[in-house]
Structure 1
Amino acid sequence: MAKDKKNPIAKGLVWIILLLLIVGLAGFGATNFGGSTRVVATVGDTEIDVDRYARALQNELRRLEQQTGRRIPMSEARQAGINTIVLQRLIATAALEDEAAALGLSVGDAEVARSVQDMAAFQGIDGSFDREAYRFALQNAGLSIAEFEEQLRGETSRAILQGALVAGIAPPDTFVDTLYDYAREQRDLTLVRFTEDDLDGELAEPTDADLQAYYDANPDAFTLPERKAVTYAWLSPEMMTDTVDVPEDDVRALYDARSDDYDRPERRLVERLVFPNEEAAQTAADAIEAGDTTFDALVEERGLSLSDIDLGDVAQSDLSTAAAEAVFALDDPGIAGPAQSSLGPALYRVNAILSAQQTPFEDVREELRVEAAIAAARRATENQLDPAEDLLAGGATLEDLAAETEFELGKTVWAADEAGEDDGAIDAYTAFRDLAASTEPGDFPELAELADGGLVALRVDEVLAPELQPLDAVRDQVVEGWRAQALRDALTTQAEAALEDLQSGTAVSELAGTVSTETEITRDAFLEDTPDALVTEAFALEEGAATVLTGDAAALLVRVDAITVPSGVSDEAQAIKEGVRTAAGQGIAADITSAFTASIETQKGISINQAAVNAVMSQFQ
């Protein structure tokens, strides 16, 4: 009976912890840190050893690598604070484990044994517990059986404490109903849009004083951001194409390697309908020939769709001997068979005949030569990597590198989120921009590989402070900005005048502008070509109220025609409310757990061994 009364939340947490623990076992491995650095942190009487921290850090890095699709170096992880986040997470866990121990919460050997035997990672092919797999997995993880089971016992006790802490949490009905009503409330709107076409007259041309005033009022729009004056040495495969020789034999070999592309046999678009026996297949063929039925009708009678029987385009070699002879004996599209297939006797419908295609070597020689030259140029560029690194390591400047190798020297001014002065040549490479962003004056030039196989090294000569450009240099931008502002102001004035008319009793249809309506709008709605604040403003208005919103090149008069409050009694509404109740309960539980954990961390005290932390992270370099 006691087993049946276990807290379901605690039980769920236990299984989540067990799964995460098994993933961790495949992570860091049996690294030996040794010495006096066995403990990275202590919370109360509970220690977090280096292996536990290392496994948690490794698992977090793997999770991030799966999300990003690339390797995350420890230097990048440290810069993002990943190591600190992992340690704080372990400290919170240790605090709960220590509190569970202080309260005397524990599980017996029988429960630990059952949990271990239920773990899929420790089961054999027949689904039963495999002791050798258990021992092998722990050995690879650098854990003894006693250490693992003690850790499992502690984490299970912690899960019981967490489950007891949040057990029975259920938001009251009033809270759930309020959230539901807020989320499902709807508005019906009338929109009157004013654009440049609706202006009473033409916009005036700006005077010099207008432009000066706009320029003075918007200095940020005309200020160059912080930039870096960069000298770079660049080598691309394209630069190397003239230095490589592509023998005719190599081009011919590339052609031969792609013979399937250049020498395609006759192919046919075929569908296959299989029958239970030869007699049924022949009867169907006779009925089609007599006009009593069609191939499509037979497919439908069998409860199939055309996609179920489609073989696509096939060559003779793709079919059995009997089927190939029947299908390729047709001179025009039609029905072939019955013929034996791997699934039994079948009828084949040929929908199209694709003639054989043969592309002579001479027709693609130049195309293949260019491709081979690019591949050779990539290899030649790659071969320049080590000599270039040796030169830079020996103290050579970028100018020396360009003088002694095939690298080309260049200069640009780099700024984040802006194209460089060379209009996007070297500046178009993400690797170059990342390198420029992370390099400061005086840094040692390092080679970086570009997406096309090229190489680049750079030097930051100077950091240029933000600079307000002279009015004459940005006059066109100022004119454009002034005109856009003047248009917005004029349209807003016209829309506000229309709002006054509307409030005075003028019908919407008599207003200037383009009228439209939107019905059953919810708070999460998106209305295309409207100001971002439209929905928010609409839900702040009472029924019958109206306001004016300004967009980039339009003004919008918005009136709330109707407010619909959800009834909340339908089956759909009740299902949504239960989802709201569950989500809100989980949020409350997380907040309670977080507050409780922070409190016991303060009470118990935290001690961090930075030397041990550094020792773990050094293993990831």
Structure 2
Amino acid sequence: MRAPPRRGASLRSHPPPTPIPCWLSRVECLKPGDVFQRGRHFMATKVSRIFVWIIMGMVLVGLVGFGSFNFGGSATSIGKVGDTEIDANRYFRELRAEMQAFEAQYGQNLTFAQAKMFGLDQAVLDRVIAQAAFENETGRLGLSVGDAEIARQIKEIEAFQGVDGKFDREMYDFALQQSGLTVAEFEASLRADVARTILQGAVSSGIAVPAVYTDTLFAWARETRDFTWARVDASVLDTPVGLPDDETLQAFYDENPELFTTPEIRKITYAWAAPEDMIDRIEVSDEELRALYDQRIEEFVVPERRLVERLVFGSDTEAQAAADRLAAGDASFEDLVAERDLDLSDIDLGDVTEDELGAAGPEVFALSEPGIVGPVETSLGPALIRMNAILAARETSFEEASEELKGDYAADAARRLVDDLVPTLDDDLAGGATIEDLAGNHGLRLQTIDWTPGSDEGIAAYDSFRAAAAAVTEDDYPEVIELSDGGVFALRLDEVVAPRLQPLDEVRDEAIAAWQAAETRRQVLARAEAMLDEIEGGETPASLGLTEVIETAMSRDAFIDGTPPALMRTVFEMAPDGWQVVSGDEGAFLVHLDAVNAPDQEAAEARAIKANFSQQISQQMALDLQSAFAAELENRAGITLDQGVINAVNANFP
């Protein structure tokens, strides 16, 4: 056993959520618990009660769902915190659960090497160490849970209940037997987890976020402004900018060498196998195309559909009353939706087939034009259904689809040919073949490119080529690299041409144009500044020949086409009254702040958002307190880890 390096609390700290973008976009995305992931973040307002319920579920899933595992040898612990063992099976179960949650979220299998790259193994290790630290402290304090409480909680776990909803001893014994656990082991684990949770709740319960905190943030995020702006461009100048004399041009050239310096040029030779180059080699039979057509039949044979909205009611009586109001003209469909505190988007089913509507299908599909039917029975209860459009059935025959199918088949087969070619190309390069040899022996394109960071045509449009071109050195051996469309390439750096400041005589025309643009901007900005004095003297932008544009209720993230980002920043930094100048790439803008509009802090939406945000901040603070407390417990008790056992556990993952 060896003591690991001290891990600070920051390893388990969680940065506070960032609510402002949600408020700016006016999307209520801060729902309770959104900021936390995968079960470990379970603090809520009534901390101790919810802790107990969640612990029950975690113990059941962790112990019964996964069971115990034999990692070989006699070791059952990956280490200790103080006198408390860190169970190897706990680490194994939590790591597997974390990997499975990751796989479910992203829809792909995860190897242990990938999990390690993402830091999942270390995160789980930190977590089980923190759990052991709390359990070690509960033991030191003599904190425990009585048999009666453990029995009550076990009886409330659904997996241990029979069809009558009551605790079933046979199901309890069978579930534990299947998991390889004894009753004593399971109940001891549950007792320790509940005791630990009580201590965690004591550490972090009672946390509240001051109302002034959420009010201030909400006010800042949802504040809007009314303002007036006017563009100032070259049309305000008495005379256009002319040509610079030689001395002026030389000075401009000397002051802006970056404008006239060529970028580094990397001369590269490459061999490229693109899927489209392989298409001529593909042969496809009618049988293969027919099979592909049948496989994708849903694309080519689309039944008639309807665009519908479904408004569900709690009872037949409510649904009939709503239908009667519609028939009498006392309410519109939109009124009924609003009365239920819903938006049309909440009830929109999109385009559906008759079968997808179930029992309501025949009545909806009997409509020959948009309308409302109901009450009708649906899987969610009685409902009114509004049909908004008829989408006719569409059928594309095999003959009509054959050209598309041939193209898709050929493209897929071509990518497979390229894939099959990769091992051969790798072997050739390993055997000393050159880029020219690859092209000559396998029919690849052999091309060269003078590549710069701004190159974006041909193969330089691919991210992987640009990355390889930027990183390759003259000493590197070529390797086969994949492209996003299934193609592959190998490249060689032949020469690096260093950046070069071009003589003024070579770029005189470009230098003149650049000077004229810069001088125009300077004069326009100077004229805009002068206009401020004239406006203070009684003029207005309109009287000075400018077009005034009035904006109202603009939020911080608003964008006005044709204006620089600095315009909105200035608007939210300036005080009402008075005009200011904002510089732009092609001129300047005059801007005047007309009004500051504070949000309604007492609106239903505002109260809901602030409540959710306050709850999340409270949860975050509670977690941070727990992390800090756990770190202190670990420091005080000391940690030892057995890396050999940890490695043995990790070896059980593919």
* TM-score class, shorter: 0.5 to 0.7
Residue identity in the other structure for 2:207: I
CA distance in 1, matches of 2:497, 2:193: 54
Does the residue aligned with 1:510 lie in a helix, a strand or coil? coil
1:164 partner letter: A
State the distance in 1 between where 2:57 and 2:497 align: 52
2:304–2:394 contact (8 Å) kept in structure 1? no
CA deviation vs aligned residue, 1:306-363 (integer Å, no higher than 9, x gap) = x99x99999xxxxxxxx9xxx9xxxxx99xxxxxxxx9xxxxxxx99999989695x7
Following superposition, the deviation at residue 110 of structure 1 comes to: 3.7
Q: Does the 8 A contact of 2:273 with 2:489 survive in 1?
A: no
Map of 1:500 onto structure 2:
533
- Name the aligned partner's letter for residue 635 of structure 2: T
Instruction: Tell whether 2:595 aligns with 1:562.
Output: yes
Alignment of 1:342-361 (within 5 A): 361=399
Matches within 5 A, 1:406-445: 419=455, 423-425=457-459, 427-429=460-462
How many Å separate the matches in 1 of 2:171 and 2:472?
Answer: 49
Shift of 1:160: 1.9
Partner of 1:189: 227
- How many pairs are equivalent? 552
1:543 equivalent in structure 2: 576
Q: Which amino acid aligns with 1:165?
A: V
The aligned counterpart of 1:162 is 200
Identify if the C-alpha distance between structure 1 residues 581 and 355 changes in structure 2 by more than 3 Å, giving closer, same or farther: closer
- Report the Cα offset of residue 598 of structure 1: 3.6
Which residue of the partner structure matches residue 153 of structure 1?
A: 191
Pairwise mapping of residues 246-325 of structure 1 onto structure 2 (< 5 A)? 246-247=284-285, 250=288
Q: Post-superposition shift, 1:43?
A: 3.3
The residue number in structure 2 matching 1:291 is: none
Alignment of 1:126-145 (within 5 A): 127-128=165-166
1:605 to 631, 635, 638: 638
Structure-2 residue corresponding to 1:111:
149
Match of 2:585 in 1: 552
Write out aligned runs for 1:315-464 (5 A).
361=399, 369-385=406-422, 387-388=424-425, 402=439, 404-405=441-442, 419=455, 423-425=457-459, 427-429=460-462, 450-454=483-487, 456=488, 458=490, 461=493
CA distance in 1, matches of 2:495, 2:118: 25
| Distance in 1 between residues matched to 2:180 and 2:94, nearest whole Å | 14
Note if contact 2:474-2:494 (Cα within 8 Å) is conserved in structure 1: yes
The answer to whether the Cα contact below 8 Å between 2:257 and 2:501 also exists between their aligned partners in 1 is no
> Does 2:570 align with 1:532?
no
What SS does the aligned partner of 2:565 have?
A: coil
* Overall identity of the aligned pairs, in %: 38
1:377 to 1:98, Cα distance in 2 relative to 1, 3 A: same
1:466-481 aligned within 5 A: 467=499, 470=502
C-alpha deviation, 1:532, in angstroms: 2.8
| AA at the equivalent of 2:146 | G
Q: Using the alignment, how far apart are the partners of 2:442 and 2:557 within structure 1? A: 59
Work out the CA distance in 1 between the residues paired with 2:266 and 2:183: 57
The CA deviation at 1:467 is 4.3
Per the TM alignment, residue 241 of structure 1 is displaced from its structure 2 partner at its CA by 2.8
1:56 correspondence with 2:56: no
Alpha-carbon spacing, 1:258–1:525, altered in 2? closer, same or farther (3 Å): closer
Question: 1:203-259 deviations in whole A, cap 9, x for unaligned?
Answer: 44567765874675474996747x987665544443333334445665677678889
Unaligned runs of 5+ in 2: 1-43, 308-323, 334-346, 355-361, 370-377, 379-388
Contact in 2 for aligned 1:37/1:611 (Cα 8 Å): no
Kindly provide the amino acid, as one letter, of the partner of residue 167 in structure 1. S
Q: Identify the residue that residue 290 of structure 1 maps to in structure 2.
A: none
Rg larger in structure:
1
Q: Distance in 2 between matches of 1:75 and 1:31?
A: 21
Tell me by how many angstroms 1:600 deviates: 3.2
2:174 and 2:430 mapped to 1: Cα distance? 46
Cα separation, 1, equivalents of 2:581 and 2:238:
18
C-alpha spacing 1:145/1:460, structure 2 compared with 1 (3 Å)? farther
Compared with structure 1, are the counterparts of its residues 617 and 432 closer, same or farther at alpha carbon in structure 2 (3 Å cutoff)? farther
* Alpha-carbon distance change, 371 to 533 in structure 1, aligned in 2, over 3 angstroms: closer
Which amino acid letter does the alignment assign opposite residue 152 of structure 1?
L
CA distance in structure 1 between the partners assigned to 2:476 and 2:75 by the alignment = 34
Task: Name which of structure 1's ranges 142-151 and 467-476 shifts more when overlaid on structure 2.
Answer: 467-476
| Residues 7 and 163, structure 1, Cα contact 8 Å, conserved in 2 | no
Gaps of 5+ in 1: 1-5, 272-296, 315-322, 328-332, 335-342, 344-350
C-alpha deviation, 1:82, in angstroms: 4.1
Structure-2 separation of matches of 1:352 and 1:172 = 53
Matched residue, 1:514: 547
CA positional deviation for 1:8: 1.9
Which residue of structure 2 lines up, in the alignment, with residue 202 of structure 1?
240
Cα 1:534/1:247, change in 2 over 3 Å:
closer
What TM-score does the superposition give when structure 1 sets the normalisation length?
0.66
Q: Secondary structure at the match of 2:208?
A: coil
1:13 is the counterpart of 2:46: no
TM-score (norm 2): 0.64
Structural RMSD (CA): 5.6
Query: Is structure 2 residue 634 aligned with structure 1 residue 596?
Result: no
Q: Deviation string for 1:487-535 (max 9, x for gaps)?
A: 5434432332222333444445434433233344555655555443444
| SS in structure 2 of the partner of residue 241 of structure 1 | helix
What is the Cα deviation at residue 9 of structure 1? 1.2
For residues 189 and 165 of structure 2, the distance between their equivalents in structure 1, rounded to whole angstroms, comes to 24
More contact order relative to length (CA 8 Å, sep ≥ 6) = 2
Matched, 1:84 2:122: yes
What is the CA-CA distance between 1:74 and the residue it aligns to? 4.4
- Partners of 2:150 and 2:509 in 1: how far apart? 75
State how far apart, in whole Å, the 2-side matches of 1:463 and 1:27 are.
61
**CA offsets 1:539-581 (integer angstroms, 9 cap, x no match):** 4333325432223334233333334556756776666654554
Structure-2 residue corresponding to 1:319: none
Q: Which of 125, 135, 138 is the equivalent residue of 1:100? A: 138
Query: Residues 190, 146 of structure 1: CA spacing in aligned structure 2 closer, same or farther, 3 A cutoff?
Result: farther
DSSP-derived class of the 2:458 partner: coil
Tell me if the contact between 1:180 and 1:580 (Cα under 8 Å) persists in the aligned partners: no
Measure, in 2, the Cα distance between the counterparts of 1:494 and 1:53.
70
Distance 2:450 2:165 in 1: 64
**Matched residues in 1 for 2:228 and 2:397: separation?**
64
